Each structure stands twice: as structure tokens, then as C-alpha cells.
Amino acid sequence: MDADYLFNQTVEYLKTAQHVVISTGAGISAESGIATFRAPSTGLWSRYKSGELATAEAFKRNPSLVWGWYTWRRMQVANAQPNTAHRAVAAMAQCLPHMTLITQNVDDLHERAGSQDPIHLHGHLATARCFTCSQPYLDTLPIVVDPDAGPLEPPRCQHCEGLIRPNVVWFGERMPENEMKRARIAAFDCDVMLSIGTSGSVAPAVYLPTIAAENGAWVVHINLEADSTAPGNTLIGPATHWLPKLAQALLSA
């Protein structure tokens, strides 16, 4: 489908929508300088694969290595700024009757751009919990200045003295039940879904556009390339190009 025609059709659907779902993945934050999860790390961390550090087994084997890597990732997020796509998502929420924001990202760029209560399917890098008893860790988390600081000893739980782990979903772990339930309900209920910067390979989030499409929603993906297996159509290009245009069209309506 021609990009201009698809864009104009999407604007028309957004203008009459009663419930819009925007689902974002790593692609939207990559434009703020945060490397996608599967991209190689830099410096000290380039010798490790992300999958080797993002598991419960890796934490058991070498907790200071895993904690150091996630502390480095918190530094990346702290140094990044929301981009025009993040701000466009927040602006769209102000002119739609009902919008649900779902993200696979563990950063806080949506919140810093002004979005309220996004559903974080993979957890949140700014929070942590006990590896043993799962109680939340309430103290301030460290952010290293030196990207090559290396392994760091995790803090201890105030309740059981267990080691503190990042409050994110690791490989082999289930998505948070409440967040997944909210996301599925939103996908089932919406009449427009925009899926932005996702790889189309991470289950169960990958099934949300299918749920929306099967229930009659207008589904549009915004990605650098089209996925022939995904339901709906694709606006090819960066999120920072298409989302501000969509937001402007809505604000001008």
C-alpha cells in the first residue's frame, strides 16, 4: 500500500477511534541512542552476549557481573533523552478519547516524555527486587559513571538479606501477569493499534497485533522494514518521522 495513502487512512481511523493502543519496542528508544537488546554492547561488555547476562542462571553463577551490566545499562538510559517519537506518543494521548500505551522497553523515556501509566511488559530498569523473596528494593539504585566499571556487588534485601536483582523479565521467565492481562484486554478492545519499533519476534507481545486485527482493529506497524507475517500494514521508516506527523495531523483536526 502506498505510504501516503496508508498514512492518510490511518489518520482518518485515528480521528474516529474510541480506543487506540500504541505498542512500542526497542526501535523507538534506539533513536535516543539506547542500543537494541540484541545489538552488541560496547567497551568492557562487548565480550558478552546479552542473552548470557539476562538469565536467572547467569545471576546465580555471577551476580556481580550481571548487576554490573544492568548498572551500566541504567547509565545508558540516564544519559539518553526522549526523542520526538516519545513526545508524539504523549501528545496523541491528549487528543484521543482513550489511549493505552504498551511497551516492551525497560527504560523510562515514555514517562519522561509525558506519557502516563504505560504498561511495561518486560519490567522496568529503574526498579529492583530481591532474587530470593521478590520484595521490592526501595533504596536508590546505583548508576556508574565509568562505562568500564565492570562487575559490581548487588545490594542486599532489607527483608531477607538475599541479593537484589533488576526488576526486568529475563529469558526463561514469564511476563508479569497483571501487565499481560491489561495488554490483552486493550488489544481485544481497541479499534486502532499502532505497533512501533518492534522486532516481531518476542512472544507473547508479538501476538497483540493479531488479537487486535482479529477483533476488527485497524493495525499499522511503524518499522524500518516490513514484516510479511505481521497482520496489518507497515509505514516504513523511523518512528521519529511518522509519529510526529500523526500527532500533528490529530492536533490539527
Q: Does domain 35-79+123-168 fall into CATH 1.10.357.10?
A: no
Strands 192-196 and 164-168: unpaired
> Looking at 86, 110, 120, 122, which residue is catalytic?
122
pLDDT of residue 216: 97
**CA–CA separation, 155 vs 110, rounded Å?**
28
Q: Which amino acid is at 167?
A: N
Among this protein's residues, is 122 annotated catalytic? yes
| Residue 83 to residue 53: CA distance in whole angstroms | 28
Dihedral angle sign, alpha carbons of residues 33, 36, 42, 44: positive
User: What's the whole-model pTM score?
Assistant: 0.92
Q: Which residues contact 118 (CB under 8 A, 6 or more apart)?
A: 101, 102, 103, 110, 111
Q: What is the pLDDT of residue 45?
A: 58
Half-sphere exposure of 228 (CA within 13 A, CB side): 0
**Portions of the chain given CATH number 3.40.50.1220:** 1-34+82-121+175-253
Homologous superfamily of the 1-34+82-121+175-253 domain (CATH): TPP-binding domain (3.40.50.1220)
- How do the pLDDT tens digits run along the chain, 253 residues long? 799 999 999 999 999 999 999 999 999 999 998 876 555 555 555 677 777 789 999 999 999 999 988 988 898 899 999 999 999 999 999 999 999 999 999 999 999 999 999 999 999 999 999 999 999 999 988 776 665 667 889 999 999 999 999 999 998 999 999 999 999 999 999 999 999 998 666 667 789 999 999 999 999 999 998 887 788 999 999 999 999 999 999 998 7
| Phi, psi of 210, rounded to the nearest 5 degrees | -65, -45
Question: In 47-122, which ranges are E strands?
Answer: 99-103, 119-120
pLDDT recorded at residue 72: 86
Question: What residues form DSSP beta bridges with 171?
Answer: 55
Name the phi and psi angles at 171, rounded to 5.
-55, 135
Within the chain, all domains assigned CATH 3.30.1600.10 are found at: 35-79+123-168
Smallest CA-to-CA distance from 117 within 168, 70, 183, 170 is with 183
The three three-digit cell numbers of residue 49, written as one number: 552476549
CA distance 7 to 104: 24
